[in-house]
């Protein structure tokens, strides 16, 4: 943030923008001028702003970039490609229910050590 004092006895906000454009070399269309939190139109006279603080916002070019985009997709590029294995077709319907029943009730014959195997 930078503070500078200017004295204008007559003129408009557009004249102030032109002065700032010549001083900072930035196009005046980007300047936003405020006083007491309210934006000032270009047609307002500077004589009514005597003794008031005038804020000038100069927008900067560019946008928000968080982190380096050069490394985007790094993990996927480094991971080796593994071919999918062929798998046995899963059972469906009656066959699947029969398999569940057998696993849960019929094969749970208690053994001598009390734990399931396999």
Q: Where are the domains of the chain?
A: 13-57
pLDDT in tens, 37-92: 888 888 888 777 777 788 887 777 776 666 677 777 778 888 899 999 999 999 99
pLDDT in tens, 1-38: 677 777 767 788 888 888 878 877 766 667 788 888 88
The HSE-up count of residue 56 (CA atoms within 13 Å, CB side) is 21
DSSP assignments along the chain, one per residue: --------SS-BHHHHHHHHHHHH-S-GGG-EEEETTEE--TTSBGGGGTT--EEEE-PPS-----S-GGGTTHHHHHSPP-PPPP-PPPP-THHHHHHHHIIIIIS----TTS----
């Amino acid at each position: 943030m930078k503070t500078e004092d200017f004295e204008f006895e007559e003129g408009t906000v557009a004249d102030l923008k032109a002065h700032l454009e010549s001083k900072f070399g930035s196009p005046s269309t980007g300047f936003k001028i405020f006083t007491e939190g309210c934006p000032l139109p270009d047609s307002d006279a500077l004589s009514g702003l005597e003794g008031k603080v005038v804020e000038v916002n100069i927008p900067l070019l560019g946008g928000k970039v968080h982190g380096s985009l050069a490394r985007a997709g790094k993990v996927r590029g480094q991971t080796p490609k593994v071919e999918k294995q062929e798998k046995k077709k899963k059972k469906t319907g009656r066959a699947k229910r029969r398999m569940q029943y057998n696993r849960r009730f019929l094969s749970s014959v208690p053994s001598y050590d009390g734990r399931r195997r396999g």
